Amino acid sequence: MNSLGKLYGVGIGPGDTELLTIKAVNVLNSVEVIFTPRAAPTRDSIARKIIEPVLDNKKKIKELTFPMTKQKEELEYYWAEAASEVENVLKEGKNAAFVTLGDPFLYSTFIYLYRKIRERNPLVEIVTLPGISSIFASASAAGIPIASGSEKVAIIPLSRDVNQIKPYLDMFDTIFILKVGDKLQDLVDLLSRLELADKSVLVQKVSQAGLQRVIRNLPELREDELREVGYLSTVIVKKA
């Protein structure tokens, strides 16, 4: 018999507590420990804010730190630390949940944890619960149908050289551009050059109470505004 606890990767949606699935709420209230990711020990956890209103026992939350760094060695260290903390709970025979914003299998910290735990302990049962991705919530907030008929859709994380997205802008009908951050100015310049700026919408902090912004006139924003709205934002380009 497997005496290890079960691990749930729970997608908790993009911000609004009401976008949690019933299954997510049931699992969060059934497990002994809930792990939430945060970027630094001093940073507020968005995930925590989303789930706290539906929890019947707030004491079981443990925060795990995943710094926003691209340094492979540093990341490796934090993933291994996080995996050990989760494994310690599972080894006590307790079930645990690791929550992620949006969906757990889309550019999420959970994917690293999932791989790490699989690699170190193949006997652990891991169940993934899908969540409403920021992609879907952003399209709804902007009133942009994602695809109909034979339209093709792309999801692209923006790299430092924004020109790399050009082929996708060519090939696809709807393009979701994630991880915009401080590259927004370069992206807007590129979209303007390609005459796609008026077909682009930025959605920031979708479904987060009082914080959501939907911006359609990107080229008219000042430099400082562009810097500010890039964080936790998705740009949707809809060509048709």
Ligand X SMILES: C[S@@+](CC[C@H](N)C(=O)[O-])C[C@H]1O[C@@H](n2cnc3c(N)ncnc32)[C@H](O)[C@@H]1O
Residue 5 or 14: the one with the smaller Cβ distance to ligand X is 14
Tell whether residue 138 is a contact of ligand X (CB under 6 A): yes
Burial of 138 (0-12, 13-18, 19+ CB in 10 A): buried
Q: Which of 5, 7, 10, 14 lies at the binding interface for ligand X (CB under 6 A)?
A: 14
Report, in Å, the least distance between residue 1 CB and ligand X. 34
Residue count of the chain? 240
Integer Cα distance of 121 and 228 in angstroms: 42
Residue 90 or 206: the one with the smaller Cβ distance to ligand X is 206
Residue 87 or 103: the one with the smaller Cβ distance to ligand X is 103
Going by C-alpha positions, the residue among 119, 138, 126 that lies closest to residue 6 is: 126
Residues 6+ away with beta carbon under 8 Å from 189: none
**Residue 13 near residue 50, CB atoms below 8 Å:** yes
Q: Which of 89, 203, 215, 236 lies at the binding interface for ligand X (CB under 6 A)?
A: 203
Tell whether residue 175 is a contact of ligand X (CB under 6 A): no
**Binding region for ligand X (CB under 6 A):** 14-15, 100-103, 106-108, 133-134, 138, 178-180, 203-206, 208, 232-234
